[in-house]
Amino acid sequence: MNILDQILDVKRQEIDQIQESKFGDRDGQIRSLKSALSKPEISIIAEIKMKSPSEGEILPNADPVQIAKEYESAGASAISVLTDEQFFGGNLDILTDVRKAVSIPVIRKDFIIDSKQIPETIHHQADAFLLIADALDQDSLQQLINGGKKAGLEFLVEYHAEEHAEFIFVLNPEIVGINCRNLKTMTTDLFYFEKMIPFLPITSIKVAESGIHTSDDLKYISDLGYDAALIGTSLMKTGNPGKALETLIREIL
């Protein structure tokens, strides 16, 4: 069983325990991820990630709220919060706390595979959520997109496997991502961004995800035509994610 299948097995067990009756409404207005990423220069979605299957512990005992504040000060356009606990060391309370601490959009990054997770996402104050095509069939993906739209949430549709390209192109989501990390093996290939950019919908905001470490990497994906980059591991591994982001952004200006 590959890593993605292991994660999805655990996620299904977690979803069985979700009690929708305990969810309340969100506080305040949703902050638009689309607007935040619609800038002439490349935008950065800075990620809070405590651990991962490929890296193990990344930044033990980190303070997610402080990191979020520093990301915003450094110039992040949005923040992504890993809420999976078993494999990525996150939780939904971190999502809520981060959203309260910053004024930019906050994305819930998790393996969203069931409609129960949408009201859960709203309850914990996310502005947008991630949908991973590699973890869903087309019908389920479409249902979750419809559920997100009905709830007023924005979403980032990402994929890695080329088999999804035609369907995603027809789907034409407002925000689409290519993950250069193979979720079955957890290996990255930066040049995969170049291979996949021709298959992305023309009008979508295009996000490059994973494997990005340097200002040269950012320039490379920007020159390819990506509008934004989602960066997490390389920032967190420095031990001072906010400062690392500040340096990265300064180098590309």
pLDDT higher than 70, residue 205: yes
Tell me which of 70, 72, 154, 158 is the catalytic residue.
Answer: 158
pLDDT higher than 70, residue 197: yes
| 19 is a domain residue | no
| 241 is a domain residue | yes
Tell me which of 179, 182, 204, 234 is the catalytic residue.
Answer: 179
184 is catalytic: no
| 89 is a domain residue | yes
| 42 is a domain residue | yes
pLDDT higher than 90, residue 252: no
Collect all residues with Cβ–Cβ distance below 8 Å to 94 and sequence separation of at least 6. Answer: 48, 64, 81, 83
| 80 is a domain residue | yes
Q: Each residue of 165-192: pLDDT tens digit?
A: 999 999 999 999 999 998 888 899 999 9
Q: Are the C-beta atoms of residues 152 and 30 closer than 8 Å to each other?
A: yes
Q: Each residue of 33-57: pLDDT tens digit?
A: 999 999 999 999 999 999 999 889 9
Domain span at residue 62 reads 31-252
**Mean pLDDT value across residues 116-136:** 96
| 16 is a domain residue | no
Total number of domains in the chain? 1
Full-model pTM: 0.95
47 is catalytic: yes
Where residue 172 falls (left for φ over 0; alpha for ψ -120 to 50; beta otherwise) is left
φ/ψ of residue 29, rounded to 5? -85, 150
49 is catalytic: yes
Cα separation, 72 vs 219, whole angstroms? 21
Q: Is the dihedral of CA 106, 112, 118, 123 positive or negative?
A: negative
Nearest by Cα to 53 from 230, 233, 238, 207: 233
Tell me which of 43, 77, 204, 210 is the catalytic residue.
Answer: 210
179 is catalytic: yes
Tell me which of 109, 116, 120, 154 is the catalytic residue.
Answer: 109
Residue 221 belongs to domain with CATH number? 3.20.20.70
237 is catalytic: no
